[in-house]
Amino acid sequence: MTTLAPLKTTKPLPQSGQPRVGVLLVNLGTPDTADTRGVRVYLKEFLSDARVIEDQGLIWKLVLNGIILRTRPRAKARDYLKIWNTEKNESPLKTITRSQSDKLGAMLSDRDQVTVEWAMRYGNPSIKSGVDALIAKGCDRILAVPLYPQYSAATSATVCDEVFRVLARLRAQPTLRVTPSYYEDEAYIEALATSIETHLASLSFKPELIVASFHGMPKAYVDKGDPYQDQCVATTEALRRRLGMDETKLLLTFQSRFGFDEWLQPYTDKTMERLAKEGVRRIAVITPGFSADCLETLEEIAQENAEIFKHNGGEQFSAIPCLNDSDPGMDVIRTLVLRELQGWI
C-alpha cells in the first residue's frame, strides 16, 4: 500500500485587499563564512547538484567526499578571504544581490501590490526562505528571476528545479512565472556597452583589446543540447556591433575549468598567456555572464588572470566591474521584471 506524504499547508492568504505579486531575485550562491568549514558546506551542496555535475554516481561521490571536500575548501577559503566583505562579514555576491533586491523594490514602490525578495540557489538565504517570505506577505503570484543573462541547465534550470521543489511541498501554491534568459536584450547590451565605455574612459591607459570572459562549461553539456555557448556567442556578437568592434578587438573566452574533461574553448587563462607572449601589453576584461561581482570575477579574473597576463609579458590589466547594482544594471533588471509582470500588475 502506498503512503502519501502530507503536503504542507501555508497560512491562508489575506481575505481583504489586493493579492500581492512577489518577485524573487536568485543568484548562484556563496559560503556563509570565508573559512574551510563554510566553503566545504557550500561546495558539497553545489557539487552534489546533478545539474552541475551530471554524473552523480558512486565514483563521483567517492571523489567528492574523499578528495575534493578534503582538499579544495582550504584553498578556496583563502581565495574568498581576498575578496570578502569584512564589514558585513559576507561575500560581495551576497552584498550586491541584497542591494539589487532593495533597489528594485524602491524602483517598483509605486506599484503597491509588488514585493521583492532575494535568494541564493546554494547557501543562504535559500530559495525556500525567499518563497516563504513572499507567501507570508500575501503573494499569490511569484515571478522567479534567475540572474543569469545566458541560459544553461547548470544555472537557470537548477534555479527552476529548486523553486519547483519548494512549491511541490505546498498545498496552496502560488502561481509561478520565470523570466527567460536575456542574452541579446537591448537594455542588457546597452548597459554592458555603457559600462565598458565608462570604465575605459577612467583608465590611465588605452587597452589594445577587450576580452569577454564567460563562465565555462563541459563541452559534453553543449553537445547534449545546452544552448549556453550559442547564447554567449550571441551576446558577444551583439556587443561587438554596439561598440563597433570585430573579433580581433573583442575576444570571447571561457573561464573556471574544473576536472579533467574538455570544457568550452578558448580558455581565458590560456588566452591571457598567449596574448601577452604575442606582444599585447594593455588589456581589459569584462565578464558579461555575471550579473554581480563574485569570486570568479574579483579573484579569478582581476587577480589570477591579471597575474598570468603580467607574468608572461603583459603590462597593464583592468577588470571591468559587472553591472551589479549600478543604474544601468538596475535598469536591465527592472526592464526584465516589468516585461514579465505584464498582466499581473
Confirm whether residue 300 is marked as ligand binding: no
Amino acid at the residue 24: L
pLDDT over 60 (residue 10): no
The reply to whether 174 falls in a domain is yes
Confirm whether residue 340 is marked as ligand binding: no
Same structural domain, 174 and 235: no
The reply to whether 283 falls in a domain is yes
Same structural domain, 203 and 121: no
3-state helix, strand, coil in the chain (%, to 5): 45, 20, 35
The SS3 assignment for 109 reads: coil
Give the span between the Cα atoms of 93 and 140, in whole angstroms: 29
Same structural domain, 264 and 334: no
CATH code at position 150 = 3.40.50.1400
The pLDDT tens digits of the residues spanning 256-275 come to: 998 888 999 999 999 999 99
Question: Do 20 and 115 meet the contact criterion of CB atoms below 8 Å apart?
Answer: yes
The reply to whether 15 falls in a domain is no
The reply to whether 12 falls in a domain is no
- DSSP assigned state of 208: S
The SS3 assignment for 27 reads: strand
Q: Which three cell numbers stand for residue 291?
A: 550579473
The reply to whether 234 falls in a domain is yes
Same structural domain, 177 and 190: no
The reply to whether 287 falls in a domain is yes
The pLDDT tens digits of the residues spanning 41-54 come to: 999 999 999 999 99
Question: Do 80 and 42 meet the contact criterion of CB atoms below 8 Å apart?
Answer: no
| Structural domain total, the chain | 2
pLDDT the model gives residue 258: 87
Give the span between the Cα atoms of 211 and 282, in whole angstroms: 11
Same structural domain, 143 and 197: no
pLDDT the model gives residue 296: 98
Q: How far is CA 148 from CA 72, 152, 155, 323, in A?
A: 26, 9, 7, 12
Q: Which domain holds residue 298?
A: 186-319
Same structural domain, 167 and 256: no
Give the span between the Cα atoms of 307 and 317, in whole angstroms: 9
| Nearby residues of 3 by Cβ (< 8 Å), 6 or more positions away | none
Same structural domain, 152 and 300: no
Same structural domain, 289 and 333: no
The reply to whether 86 falls in a domain is yes
The pLDDT tens digits of the residues spanning 147-198 come to: 999 999 999 999 999 999 999 999 999 999 999 999 999 999 999 999 999 9
Q: Which three cell numbers stand for residue 289?
A: 555572464
Same structural domain, 45 and 138: yes
User: What is the C-alpha radius of gyration for the chain, rounded to an integer number of angstroms?
Assistant: 21
- The strand pairing partners of 214, in sequence order, are 254
The reply to whether 11 falls in a domain is no
Same structural domain, 29 and 173: yes
pTM summary value: 0.93
Same structural domain, 98 and 219: no
The pLDDT tens digits of the residues spanning 99-148 come to: 999 999 999 999 999 999 999 999 999 999 999 999 999 999 999 999 99
Same structural domain, 265 and 293: yes
Question: Do 215 and 182 meet the contact criterion of CB atoms below 8 Å apart?
Answer: no
The SS3 assignment for 316 reads: strand
